Amino acid sequence: MTISIEKHPCFNDESRHTFGRIHLPVAPKCNIQCNYCNRKFDCLNENRPGVTSKVLTPHQALLYLDKAVELSPNISVVGIAGPGDPFANPEETMETLRLVRKNYPDMLLCVATNGLNVLDYIDELKELQVSHVTLTINAIDPQIGAEIYAWVRHRKKMYRDTRAAEMLLHNQLEALKKLKASGITAKINAIIIPGINDRHIVDVARATAEMGADIFNCLPYYNTRETVFENIPEPHPELVTSIQRKTSQYLPQMKHCARCRADAVGIIGQDNSDALMKQLQEAAT
Ligand code: SF4
Ligand code: SF4
């Protein structure tokens, strides 16, 4: 089996114009509530209001992948990134990864998660040769986290306020440790929310670097209507650049993330083609 991480367009700047990625939208539910996310409109882990034309079952996702690869043979990576959280829908997520690995032994596999519930699945992720996992960690201080998360639901229990943020943070850091012990590349996404965590992102980078994270992605928060944060403006690009500069002393930066849709397909930065969207609709029927 030849899985070349050089072909991952998100992690290798040089491959992003040559190789494409596909997100399979098989994970509709979420197990936390971020104050910048409106579940009515769906949302994506990577802070892009979410956007998937359809949610697919694992078998539909495989069918869709078959068609997408026919139309776009440069696809080198399959990711699961929502439209909710992959591990709030662990059966669907793991079944999809198994099916893809069985049918596409050379494909890079990647998942993006809030980190609450991934820990129990890391051994199997390793077995399936999932090479990249993104954890979105917006705060390393539960007091700040409590301003960002309205609630967290874990093992059928609801948590709120600081307790919710502590639970989430604990699980995120345990997951990061285990990912690194398992040899999986760990990317940290941190959403910059002005007035909430913009002065704290550098602490997130420092702490996660100490625990072995590989790459850091500072993402500007995306203003979505009907959320607790709807009156918070998006960060100015200069603020984003200055935070990237400060955090780069701790971790290499990913700067070309396009905050892709949960059903993104093709070259990063290019819109989904009509032909591929038609395949998505057909796969879902
Ligand atoms: Fe929305 Fe993602 Fe936060 Fe869940 S983890 S509430 S899907 S932004
Ligand atoms: Fe890559 Fe960012 Fe798009 Fe995910 S959202 S596929 S990390 S460019």
Domain regions of the chain by residue span = 20-280
Determine if ligand 1 sits within 6 Å of the CB of residue 244. no
Tell me how far the alpha carbon of residue 213 lies from the centroid of ligand 1, in angstroms.
Answer: 21
Determine if ligand 1 sits within 6 Å of the CB of residue 84. yes
Determine if ligand 1 sits within 6 Å of the CB of residue 137. no
Give percent above pLDDT 90 in the chain: 64
Contact 195, 239 (CB under 8 A): no
Task: Tell me how long the chain is.
Answer: 285
pLDDT band at 284 (very low <50, low <70, confident <90, very high): low
All residues at 6 or more sequence positions from 272 whose CB lies less than 8 Å from its CB, including other chains: 261, 263, 264, 265, 266
Mean pLDDT of 68-75: 85
CA dihedral (123, 75, 269, 61) in degrees, to 10, reads: -60
Mean pLDDT of 177-198: 96
Give residue 74's pLDDT. Answer: 85
Ligand closest to 75 (CA) is 2
Mean pLDDT of 240-257: 92
Determine if ligand 2 sits within 6 Å of the CB of residue 21. yes
pLDDT band at 11 (very low <50, low <70, confident <90, very high): confident
Contact 268, 223 (CB under 8 A): no
46 pLDDT above the threshold of 50: no
Tell me how far the alpha carbon of residue 37 lies from the centroid of ligand 2, in angstroms.
Answer: 18
Contact 232, 221 (CB under 8 A): yes
All residues at 6 or more sequence positions from 82 whose CB lies less than 8 Å from its CB, including other chains: 23, 25, 27, 28, 42, 43, 44, 45, 50, 52, 112, 262
pLDDT band at 47 (very low <50, low <70, confident <90, very high): very low
Give residue 103's pLDDT. Answer: 97
65 pLDDT above the threshold of 50: yes
Tell me how far the alpha carbon of residue 234 lies from the centroid of ligand 2, in angstroms.
Answer: 19
Determine if ligand 2 sits within 6 Å of the CB of residue 37. no
Give residue 282's pLDDT. Answer: 72
Instruction: Provide the whole-model pTM.
Output: 0.90
Top CATH class, 20-280: alpha beta
**How many Cβ atoms are within 10 Å of 94's Cβ, its own excluded?**
19
